[in-house]
Amino acid sequence: MQSVNGSLNAVPFADMPSRDACARPIFAADTLDRASFLSAEPRAAAAWRAVQTDSAAAGVLIIAALGISTTAGCGSKSTPGRVNKVRRCSLACSWATQMGGEMERAGTLESAMTAEPRRATVHGQGKPGALLEYFVQCTSPRLLPPGVHVVLLEILAAIDPSSGTRTQPLRELLEQLRHAAPRAAIVLVDWPSTRELGRSMEERVMALSHTFGADVFSTMAVARELFASETNATARSASVDSAPTWSKWMVSHLFETFGSQPNHPNSHGHSLLAQGAARLVLRR
């Protein structure tokens, strides 16, 4: 059930597009697991215990996906390796929509949460071009569904790299989320901008994860592993200087090719986000 203004509301499993509706490469479970950084903070453990208890009582697992243009589906209809003359955005193939389908394909939630299968609902809000301040100001109750159990944040590309205090809005947003949904578990779904590809941002995000008890799914960690696997198999003789770095590999394989500054995931990137986020929640 789609709504206007680039948002996706109350999408039950039954309303998810079929497997053939969107390009859907399969990423290895162990690769996704190694890119999922589960917080060891007591706050995170308490939040996930509350998720189990509250979703069992409600009979449904309520997931909110908050993000910018990527969550609104931009790039999701873009074919890897093909230059697009127009930007293609599709809510039906966005990572938030696909995530519900991934959880449905997993069968039930019983593997990680309960012996009783239950329904899950994904609520998505994608705001193209939004700054983090938008989410800080509008966190509750406009963006969070009542009784939300898990909040997924895809907003790291909105951090201003020119600011010396660029992570401060993220800190404020996490504080707002804790206030608005004190029993919810928080997951940072890390889709970076191309200017932020590197370890420094990951280190900042991991520090925030520990501080606020949030889990992190890192697409950069996946890209590094896939690049290493591919280059070990096909380019053992290439010199380090002539071989592309993992970040260039990520841009060419997982980013939409549009304009001079790629920002959004292509269809494979959206599938990566969906599968990684779903697996992290199911493991928890």
pLDDT at residue 160, rounded to an integer: 61
Looking at the DSSP bridge assignments, the partners of residue 189 are 217
pLDDT at residue 244, rounded to an integer: 58
Distances 72 to 77, 104, 114, 138 between C-alpha atoms, Å: 12, 21, 31, 17
Tokens describing residue 93: 């193939």
Using DSSP, state whether 265 is helix, strand or coil.
strand
27 and 274 in contact (C-beta within 8 Å)? no
* Cα of 63 vs its chain's centroid, Å: 12
- Separation between Cα atoms, residue 282 and residue 284, nearest integer Å: 5
Residue with tokens 């930007």: 87
- Separation between Cα atoms, residue 199 and residue 204, nearest integer Å: 9
Its pTM stands at: 0.83
Q: Dihedrals φ, ψ of 83, to 5°?
A: -80, 125
**pLDDT 10s digit of each residue in the chain, 284 long?**
232 223 333 322 223 334 446 777 888 888 898 888 888 888 889 999 999 999 989 988 999 999 988 998 988 888 776 776 666 678 888 999 999 888 777 654 444 455 555 678 888 888 887 777 777 776 656 778 889 999 999 988 877 655 555 677 788 888 888 888 999 999 999 888 877 776 666 777 777 777 778 899 988 888 888 888 877 755 544 444 444 577 888 888 898 877 656 788 999 999 999 999 999 998 88
pLDDT at residue 207, rounded to an integer: 77
pLDDT at residue 215, rounded to an integer: 92
Report the DSSP pairing between strands 119-126 and 7-12: antiparallel
- Separation between Cα atoms, residue 61 and residue 179, nearest integer Å: 20
CA nearest to 38, candidates 167, 221, 181, 175: 221
- Separation between Cα atoms, residue 135 and residue 143, nearest integer Å: 8
Q: For 1-112, where are the alpha helices, taking DSSP H only?
A: 29-34, 42-58, 95-105
159 and 170 in contact (C-beta within 8 Å)? yes
Query: How far separated are the first and last CA of the chain, in Å rounded?
Result: 27
pLDDT at residue 137, rounded to an integer: 74
Using DSSP, state whether 186 is helix, strand or coil.
strand
Listed in sequence order, the residues at least 6 apart from 53 whose beta carbon sits closer than 8 Å to its beta carbon are none
